[in-house]
Structure 1
Amino acid sequence: MKRDDVNDDRLEMRVFVPSMLVLAGVVLPLILFPDAGGAMVNAAFAFATGKFGWLYMLAGLSTVVFLIGLAFSRYGNVRLGGPEDKPEFSYFSWIAMIFCGGIGIAIVNWAWVEPIYYLQGPPFNLEPGSAAAAEWALTYGQFHWGLTPWAFYCLPALPIAYSMYVRRQPGVRLSVAAGGILGRHSDGWAGVLLDAVVVFGVVGGVGTSLGLAVPLVSELASTALGIQPSLMLDLGILAIWTMIFGASVWFGLSKGIRILSDLNVVLAIALLAFTFIVGDSLFMLNGWLNSLGKMANNFLTMSTWTDPIEKSSFARDWTVFYWAWWIAYAPMMGLFVARISRGRTIRELIVAELVWGSLGCWVFFAVWGGYALNLQVSGALDVGAILSERGIPATVGAILGTLPLGGLVIAVFILLCFIFLATTLDSAAYVLASVTSRKLSGYQEPRRSIRVIWALILAGVGVALIQLGGLKPVQTSTIVVALPLIPVLLLLTLSLMRWLKEDFGTQVQADHLVGDPAE
């Protein structure tokens, strides 16, 4: 199968206009009628997670099992590209871009405080604050940020990369990757609708990240600079972020996003290492090993626990919420990871996400989560009380204040927050530009003008929602989108398997089978 020579990187109005209409149709009512709009979104979220929680749980376990099976199958050797295609980035930079694009600012919030939430409201109806609750506190952090989230991210990346680099089909969009099932309909109204929903999910996901990031950095900056939090401070922080990720997306993958991701990983490793050295290292190591063992022994139980008899809210409030959150982000991550994975095999991509992605998150929870939990159980700092009374940003600031060189640590942490979110925002702008380009091939970057347009749109949405306090409903509505995305992920999986069987079903697999069966 030869590469399609008819590529077109102009703006695809058939996708751009419906996408903007979907975005405006959700965001404007939330801005104009915040109370009514928020109530409707919350009702939809309660319905989705309450009635279909079992579906989210089943989707998570099924995705993990499918990807592990695919990695060990003969199709794991299929290379995502032709004979001339070599990996575009070094292994370190590739992993760095995958990790930073997928996790962003969220982990620097939750790694510190999530174990404390679990300690105060533990699973399995355990006594809050008990020793058993403390052990499960670290375990559930590893679970909610481990194999299943990265499996959700990995699943759409495979058919998208296969479509771009093996089938050589123009168009970096989910609708094109679903062509194995949709056929000619992938270029019709069904494909346009699918891509429009993806665009909304990406923009809403960025809203989620902004909702976490701006209050956190504002709180830390106000403490460090001795000024009061304000709308102007929030907007100033957002302006700095816009300049950073705008410049990154302008320079593209190799000169912008890759460099920022590499810097992000190095800075994160340095801050984690500092915390590990100055904290109770033995507690962190024991806690990590213990939590990994509990998760390994109870993975199936945790993946299917819905508590149908006592009907506690833990599974719905945490596991179902997280699975919906990861699914909502999955299309963006699938498109981005597919674009940077040319020349890798299917097995390499699965290992990169499930193993290295999970390991990266586990280190954050082992070190920062372990440090915070040790402060709580040792009595050095009542983290739970601060969390209950003042919220996440103030709690993170209080924990950082217990570290030696607290002022310097807070400054470095603020810088890490800026870079972490910028790597997510530039990935989002890049993906949005790709989705709304006409017939972009996997060998092209979207036009700079389209990338900048999306960077400005993301910044504009952030300004409007921060000013009007409408971030929470948009975050929630994004997660509601995850419910219809479950059958979309199934559609993409079936499309990939059909293509693999058509292209390689009768071939004997070599150790490094090249992904273009026609050459």
Structure 2
Amino acid sequence: MRRRVDWVITLAPFTTVLALCLLFAVRPVAANEILLKVRHMLGNTFGVWYLAVGFFFFLVSLYIAFSRYGEIVLGDAGEGPRYSFPAWGAMMFTCGLAADILFYSFSEWISYACDPHIGEMGKVQDWAGVYPLFHWGFIPWSFYLVLAVAFGFMLHVRKCRRHRYSEACRPLIGARADGICGRMIDLLAGTATTFGVATPLISEFVLQITGMHASRLVVDEIILTLTFVTYTSVLLKKARGISRLADACMGLFVILLGYVLLFSGQTRYILETGFQSFGTMIQNFPELATFTDPLRKTSFPQNWTIYYWAYWMVWCVAAPFFIGSISKGRTVRQTILGGYVFGGGATLLSFIILGNYSMGLQMSGAADFIGQFKKSSDIYGVIVSIVRTLPCPELVMLLVILTMIAFYATSFDSIAYTASCYSYRKLDDGQEPSMLIQFMWCVLLIVFPVALLFSRSSMANLQSISIITAFPLSLILFAIVVSFLKDAGIFLKKRSDS
């Protein structure tokens, strides 16, 4: 194994994470100040770049799906898919940011309702439910899906044995993929994989809804539990562990959404507001995607949209590789459109049902979650208040905890598996990375967010890390898109000539 593992690519992220953890532990104030300064420079000065990248990826996803590229099968001619549509869709959804999606679904509309930009646009009822669908919908999933078909083409059509970003850029950069240029691309991508923000959010959420006092011991126990579930699923991988865990996650997820929709007393409001918000988002999509607030009246895109596009770009390092690998036997068109239906659709349903439930109580005057948030600035406490308004709140809390842990484990398992493949110089088709390497990546994905939690870093600092990391990474994403279009074009030409 030692000869096959690229220890430079594998250990560089560990070294970077340990250095950052040490920095936040020894000089938390100074580290936070540096993060905010760099984040302001990138988000405020170059923010339009992030918005342009997001809009570009969405348009490219549609072009690829409905053009001649969409007919390409990610595999050998006549090869059928390995997974059924439901199993494939479940794995695609759960390998993303599912735990974060659950967390934000309950309360994100409240943050928008408190933002002055909503007042500029109109009423809370008309717009607070629109932005969650926009920030978690088509553009974010376009990042995943465009790269997924590029990686799937590289793995299943070109049969590349190097699971690297540099290999995906080879059609554009040529032999430089084997030199310093390729090395820099792989090092940047490998380090970016570690910047997850889910851990502190999930840990704090669990602590809040269980009523326990935050302590290092409690957080450690939560993380160890998640790691154990992750490692167990890794051990079950030969028995399709990810597929089975993803099915369990989706089962819990559907039960939670069904319970809130059918037994909350807000069914009509949830459906009607969700339908209206989706229509408003579609009607205003180009404007929402290109709004820059040049006069900085509210700095809404700088505080929200730019962060979300950066957030998803950072996670693009691993999740699209996994989606591409499980899409073997499917066409490019099926992968992109199926991703929007399963991944994007499940995401939007979560925000429509969980978010509109609490917004319905707010709009009817049955609760004042906005007032509670303005008074305390404690979004976790607000979520606890929301859950307590449901029938049998203790049961709902338990269901939420189990669902978030299951989603967390599935996401990290799939990403750790993909990152483990990234650690190898070459992997033959069907060859599995060692369990030791997979477990190392599981630990790595947890360490840095926990360090931020212990150093009392704010949500703004977590956002800053995503924005800073995504800036250079976006250049690589562009290179991968150009490389795929070039290589796939050559493939189609040869196929038509033969």
- Aligning the two structures, in what range does the TM-score lie when normalised by the shorter sequence? over 0.9
CA contact (8 A) 2:82 2:329 kept: yes
In the alignment, structure 1 residue 181 sits paired with structure 2 residue 172: yes
Identity of aligned residues (%): 28
Q: Distance in 2 between matches of 1:305 and 1:191?
A: 35
RMSD: 2.2
Distance in structure 1 (CA, Å) of the matches to 2:129 and 2:204: 25
Structure 1 residue 354, shift from structure 2 partner: 2.3
Which residue of the partner structure matches residue 404 of structure 1? 391
Alignment equivalent of 1:213, drawn from 163, 185, 202: 202
- What do the CA deviations read for 1:53-94 (whole angstroms, capped 9, x no partner)? 111111111111111011111110100111364322221111
- Tell me if 1:365 matches 2:358: no
Alpha-carbon spacing, 1:460–1:50, altered in 2? closer, same or farther (3 Å) = closer
| Offset, 1:291 | 0.7
In structure 2, relative to structure 1, the CA distance for the partners of 1:464 and 1:386 (3 Å cut) is same
CA 1:374–1:435: 2 relative to 1, 3 Å: same
* One of 294, 298, 309 as aligned partner of 1:308: 294
* Aligned twin of 1:4: none
1:257 aligns with one of 221, 235, 242: 242
Q: Which residue of 1 aligns with 2:272?
A: 286
Aligned residue in 2 for 1:326: 312
1:53-72 residue pairs with structure 2 within 5 A? 53-72=47-66
Distance 1:115 1:267 in 2: 23
Letter in 2 for 1:407: E
Corresponding residue pairs, total: 495
- The yes-or-no answer on 1:239 pairing with 2:224 is yes
2:328 alignment partner in structure 1: 342
Give secondary structure in 1 for the equivalent of 2:128: helix
Asked whether the 8 Å contact 1:19–1:195 carries over to 2, the reply is: no
Give yes or no for the alignment of 1:19 onto 2:13: yes
Tell me if structure 2 keeps the 8 A contact 1:100–1:420.
yes
Cα distance between partner residues in 2 of 1:14 and 1:234: 31
Amino acid at match of 1:387: F
TM norm structure 2: 0.94
Cα displacement string for residues 199-237 of structure 1 (whole angstroms, at most 9, x for unaligned residues): 2222112xx010211000111122xxxx43322211111
Q: 1:507 to 1:122 in 2, by over 3 A?
A: farther
Unmatched tracts of structure 1, length 5 or more? 1-6, 509-516
Aligned equivalents of 2:61, 2:389: Cα separation in 1? 42
Q: Would you say 1:115 and 2:109 are equivalent positions?
A: yes
2:89 paired residue number: 95
Give the whole-Å Cα distance in 1 for the aligned partners of 2:337 and 2:432: 26
Give the equivalent residue in structure 1 for 2:477: 489
Distance 1:402 1:253, change over 3 A: farther
> Does the C-alpha gap of structure 1 residues 275 and 82 become closer, same or farther in structure 2, counting only changes over 3 Å?
same
Tell me, in whole angstroms, the C-alpha distance in 2 between the residues paired with 1:321 and 1:474.
10
Q: Residue 331 of structure 1 aligns to a residue in which SS?
A: coil
Residue 248 (structure 1) aligns with: 233
Partner amino acid for 1:366? I
Corresponding position of 1:269: 254
- 1:355-434 equivalence runs, <5 A: 355-388=341-374, 389-434=376-421
Which amino acid in the other structure matches residue 171 of structure 2?
G
Cα distance change on mapping 1:76 and 1:8 into 2, 3 Å: farther
Q: Does 1:104 align with 2:95?
A: no
What is the CA-CA distance between 1:310 and the residue it aligns to? 5.2
Residue 489 of structure 2 is matched in structure 1 by 501
Alignment partner of 1:136 is 2:124: no
Aligned partners of 1:341, 1:236: CA distance in 2, in Å? Answer: 35
3-state SS of paired residue (2:76): coil
Q: Distance between the aligned counterparts of 1:507 and 1:54, measured in 2?
A: 40
Letter in 1 for 2:438: R
Give the structure-1-normalised TM-score.
0.90
Residue 192 of structure 1 aligns to a residue whose secondary structure is helix
Q: Contact 1:221/1:414 (CA < 8 Å) preserved in 2?
A: no
C-alpha distance in 2 between matches for 1:393 and 1:46: 26
* Equivalent pair of 2:24/2:451 in contact (CA under 8 Å): no
Inter-CA distance 431–28: structure 2 relative to 1 (3 Å threshold): farther
